[in-house]
Amino acid sequence: MSSSVIVGTQWGDEGKGKIIDIMAKKADLVIRSSGGNNAGHTVVHGNDVYKLHLLPSGILYPNTTCLVGSGVVVDPKVLLEEISEMNKRNVTCDNLKIDSRADIIMPWHRELDRLEEDFKAKQSGVNVGTTGRGIGPCYTDKARRIGIRMYDLCRPECLKKLIKTTGEINNLMIEKVYGGKPLDLDAVYEEYKAYGEKLAKYEADGSVITFEAYNEGKTVLFEGAQATLLDIDFGTYPFVTSSHPIAGGACIGTGVGPKLIDEVIGVGKSYTTRVGNGPFPTELFDELGETIRNRGGEFGTTTGRPRRTGWFDAVIMRHAVRVNGLTALAINKFDTLSGIGTLKVCTAYKKSDGSVVKDFPVTLEELADCTPVYEEIEGYEGDLSNCRTFEELPEKCRRYISRLEELCGCPIKIIGVGAGNDQVIFR
Ligand code: IMP
């Protein structure tokens, strides 16, 4: 038996989908445990490219059970569209299970996401820069115990009753707080009842499925979404998502204990990117940042937004190693940095009083007072895309990788050298 948790170490978009897909081939059970369709995983299979938002990456393998866990917020419309798209490409999705406890994103959540962001922008000029998918408002309803869950969606009498209360509360928020237009709750009921009918066949108890699979000696893969610095507690709050993308979230969002986790792999990139607003110490504002963005194809899978780009930040990585209990790192996109000249790695931050900070600051105020301390490393050249062993990599590239390992305090066991699933080195 074995179980692995895959988490993002930076601000998302680290190429988790690719690592997950490679590992999903060998997994019996693949689980999404947090977030919703704010995530976007690109999976490349030969010439086929799949952009997944809610479906676990193992969906392409019919013998792999794919679980959407209790910690995920599910937009049923989006999920059904995704299933339908997959069906058109001969992927049946019969291997899909959705935990009865998963909360459902309702239309008022999307509306409130937008209204709240607009309000914040107007009031203070700063909003979170959410994906607008209703993620935060849905988790808010969950926490204030008025959420509609998968169980309710699939039972019209429950759905009707809950829409009357939770729908009304949300309508009051839309109208009385933000001056928006309330939603027609009867129409919402009819629309969502139909979604429930279509999705009912996938409803399951994810906690039981996972516990039994592990104890039967099956291989279990927890597929992370978003990333460490977007965690609601350990990310750059308030510029974070509303769930726990860190390793502990895999247990909470599935319903199993930490003893069930055997390894935790943190996925990162050989540089750093971020979408949305919020601090980013090693951000590059010059032509080089633009070059990395274009060469790395750094545009959002979910929203198409250009990603902000910057140097590799070892302070962030050490934070990720600690809060996730990482046993290994998988670092992607070493090919992107090939030939760009001297590389910089942030080893620590310096504060305005001259003190040096080695650990990621707790507050944004402290972070704002930090500037990166850089170490320069000789750049490497050449086409890495055909390298399949560490030894085949250019010597200067190997030196860069070894230095990153030292600075992060964690072995880099998986090295990405291209977008394709085979363009990877396992050590
Ligand atoms: P939300 O999750 O839509 O509420 O967005 C909150 C913040 O998390 C925003 O800055 C988003 O850009 C960011 N975010 C959410 N999901 C992802 C992701 O999958 N990759 C990268 N950033 C994300």
We report the CATH number of the domain holding residue 42 as: 3.40.440.10
Mean pLDDT within 160-172: 98
What is the per-residue pLDDT for 398?
98
Ligand 1 binding pocket includes 33 (Cβ within 6 Å)? no
Residue 13 alpha carbon, nearest atom of ligand 1: 20
Determine whether the shortest distance from the Cβ of 15 to ligand 1 is under 6 A: no
Split at pLDDT 50, 70, 90, the class of 41 is confident
Same domain as 255, residue 148: no
Q: State the CATH number of the domain containing residue 139.
A: 1.10.300.10
Domain boundary among the residues 227, 248, 263 is at: 263
Place of tokens 């299933």: 83
Together in a domain, 71 and 17: yes
Rounded distance from Cα 277 to ligand 1 centre (Å)? 10
Residues 281 and 413 in one domain: yes
Q: How far is the CA of 83 from the centre of ligand 1 (A)?
A: 23
pLDDT of 45 above 80: no
The model's pLDDT over 201-255, given as tens digits with 9 standing for 90+, comes to: 999 999 999 999 999 999 999 999 999 999 999 999 999 999 999 999 999 999 9
Q: Is 375 exposed, middle or buried (0-12, 13-18, 19+ CB in 10 A)?
A: middle
* 135 pocket-lining for ligand 1 (C-beta < 6 Å): yes
Same domain, 126 and 189: yes
Taking the centre of ligand 1 as the mean of its atom positions, its distance from the CA of residue 402, in whole angstroms, is 31
Report the pLDDT value the prediction gives residue 57, as an integer from 0 to 100.
86
Q: Check pocket membership of 267 for ligand 1, CB cut-off 6 A.
A: no
- Boundary (domain end) residue, out of 199, 216, 245: 199
Q: Is 41 a catalytic residue?
A: yes
Q: What is the mean pLDDT of residues 49-62?
A: 91
128 lines ligand 1 (CB under 6 A): yes
Q: Are 229 and 11 in contact (CB under 8 A)?
A: yes
Residue nearest to atom 2 of ligand 1 (CA): 241
Question: Are both 158 and 287 inside the same structural domain?
Answer: no
Mutate to test the pocket of ligand 1, among 226, 232, 303 (most ligand atoms within 8 A of CB): 226
pLDDT of residue 405: 98
- pLDDT, residue 144, reads 97
**46: pLDDT strictly greater than 80:** no
Strands (E), 84-235: 96-99, 103-104, 203-204, 219-223
Q: CA dist 234 to 88, 116, 328, Å?
A: 40, 23, 20
- 171 in the same domain as 147: yes
Residue bearing the CA closest to ligand 1, atom 20: 12
Residue of minimum CA distance from atom 8 in ligand 1 = 241
Compute the radius of gyration of the chain from its Cα atoms.
22
**Catalytic member of 13, 28, 75, 313:** 13
Q: Which of 2-11, 296-305, 406-415 has the lowest mean pLDDT?
A: 296-305
Strand partners, 72: 35
**How many Å apart are CA 282 and CA 305, to the nearest integer?**
19
3-state secondary structure of 150: helix
pLDDT at residue number 34:
97
- The secondary structure of 389-410 as a DSSP string is SGGGS-HHHHHHHHHHHHHHTS
Rounded Cα gap, residues 176 and 334, in angstroms: 51
Residue to probe by mutation, ligand 1, list 16, 110, 130, most atoms within 8 Å of CB: 130
Q: Is the CB of 275 under 6 A from ligand 1?
A: yes
Do residues 280 and 394 both lie within one domain? yes
Q: Quick one: which atom of ligand 1 is closest to the CA of 133?
A: 3
Locus of tokens 């692995």: 4
Please work out whether the CB of residue 13 comes within 6 Å of at least one atom of ligand 1: yes
21, 28, 41, 319: which is the annotated catalytic residue? 41
pLDDT at 83 over 70: yes
Q: What CATH number is attached to the domain comprising 334? A: 3.90.170.10
**Counting atoms of ligand 1 from 1, which one is nearest the CA of 303?**
12
How many structural domains is the chain composed of?
3
Task: Give the largest Cα separation in the chain, rounded.
Answer: 65
- Output the pLDDT for position 1: 63
Query: What is the C-alpha separation between 105 and 37, in angstroms, rounded?
Result: 10
CA angle, residues 277, 283, 284, in degrees to nearest 5: 125
Co-location of 16 and 91 in the same domain: yes
| Range 409-412 contact pairs with CB under 8 angstroms and sequence separation of 24 or more | 409/318, 409/321, 410/266, 410/317, 410/321, 410/326, 410/327, 410/328, 410/329, 411/328, 411/329, 412/328, 412/329, 412/330, 412/331
Q: Which range of residues forms the domain containing residue 25?
A: 3-98+203-263
pLDDT of residue 427: 93
End-to-end CA distance of the chain: 21
CB of 52 closer than 6 angstroms to any ligand 1 atom: no
Query: Could you tell me if the CB of 12 is within 6 A of ligand 1?
Result: yes
Query: Are 151 and 278 found together in one domain?
Result: no
Residues 323 and 352 in one domain: yes
pLDDT class for 178, splitting at 50, 70, 90? very high
pLDDT, tens only, 342-382: 999 999 999 999 999 999 999 999 999 999 999 999 999 99
Distance 128 CA to ligand 1 centre (A): 9
Q: Out of 1-15, 311-325, 404-418, pick the least confident.
A: 1-15
The whole-number pLDDT of residue 197 equals 98
Query: From the CB of 230, is ligand 1 less than 6 Å away?
Result: yes
Report yes or no: 241 and 230 within 8 Å, Cβ to Cβ: yes
How many CB atoms are closer than 10 A to CB 294? Answer: 13
Are 71 and 142 contained in the same domain?
A: no
Query: Does any ligand 1 atom lie closer than 6 A to the CB of residue 133?
Result: yes
Average pLDDT of the chain to the nearest whole number: 96
Ligand 1 atom at shortest distance from the alpha carbon of 135: 4
Task: Tell me the CA–centroid distance for residue 240 and ligand 1, in Å.
Answer: 7
Residues 253, 386 share a domain: no
- Among 263, 283, 309, identify where a domain stops: 263
Residue 7 has pLDDT above 70, yes or no: yes
